[in-house]
Homo-oligomer: A and B are copies of this chain.
């Protein structure tokens, strides 16, 4: 019955669903970074017109879904499903952001891998014949994440050299059974990988083994190598995590090459913006995908991208209780050809 499986962990979609619309939103720092021209909306106000940062994050999800709908001239009722999640406790960025749309909703929690998870499930629901159109989306906000995971922003917490900067950003992709592409051709579901890293200020190192595990499975299952893709792009490993993944592969005799990138390294100018190890947060990979990457594919810059965002499945409580950081990575192959 599981006739769409390729190898042990990868599925090949029989009628690859198409991206029909995509949108992203960023905040002040994202607007000062090298990808500023690839955002649909940039807002200098970290409150996005709301009274709290949590409400601001919900406003971002609401705005980004509305933009993606508008760009495809769709109404909310045209969507069979929205799949979304975020970093906030109980994923309130998504539930409050989406409550006015009245669209069937499956809530996800994949930490910063959520863009990969939501795209994966949306694509499978369409390819499986359960949906005609579905939206995949997520967000993160620097101030809500700092308050929840570390210290309230006004406290002025000093950041360690390996710390990453949570993006204030959201991204949304709308997929459909038919469309102009890019198409989602293959999906590899991640496993939870925990190699014992317990430093919540070094997420990149904690997540690197999960990225290596998922990308390895993808290459093995599909019989391909990194050079078969114009870009292999992780989500938010940052400088350290990204170089660890490169090292892991080089031990296997696999050169990840120059096309191995990370959304957390693309989103900001780390030196001039003082970003330490790079960007992070669900909104990091979501906004880079739904702007720079997908518009680059539409413009002919890249024809095949392997998108593999990672997530650190910790909570402040688990860290307080001395636990290490379980991580996950979901890989999605996007191609301009079916």
Which A residues have a C-beta under 8 Å from some C-beta of B?
1-5, 9, 11, 14-15, 51-52, 54-55, 80-81, 85, 87-92, 95-96, 98-99, 101-111, 117, 120-121, 124-132, 177-178, 189-194, 313-318, 321, 323, 326, 328
Contact = CB atoms under 8 A, between A and B. Distances in A.
Nearest to A104: B189
Contacts of A96: 313, 318, 323, 326
Contacts of A315: 88-90, 92
Contact of A90 (B108, B109, B124, B129): B109
B130 A313 contact: no
Contacts of A313: 90-92, 95-96, 107
Contact of A111 (B11, B90, B128, B328): B90
B90 A126 contact: no
A87 B107 CA distance: 12
Nearest to A1: B177
A128 B1 CA distance: 9
Q: How many copies does the complex hold?
A: 2
The 3 closest A-B pairs by CB, nearest first: A128-B128, A1-B177, A95-B313
B108 A109 contact: yes
A124 B130 contact: yes
A241 B144 CA distance: 32
Nearest to A124: B130
A314 to B, nearest CB: 7
B318 A192 contact: no
Contact of A129 (B4, B95, B190): B4
Which of A1, A125, A189 is packed against the most chain B CB atoms within 10 Å?
A1
B128 A130 contact: yes
A55 B52 CA distance: 32
B99 A194 contact: yes
A85 B109 contact: yes
Which of A54, A87, A126 is packed against the most chain B CB atoms within 10 Å?
A54
A317 B92 contact: yes
Contacts of A14: 129
A309 to B, nearest CB: 13
Contacts of A178: 1
B129 A3 contact: yes
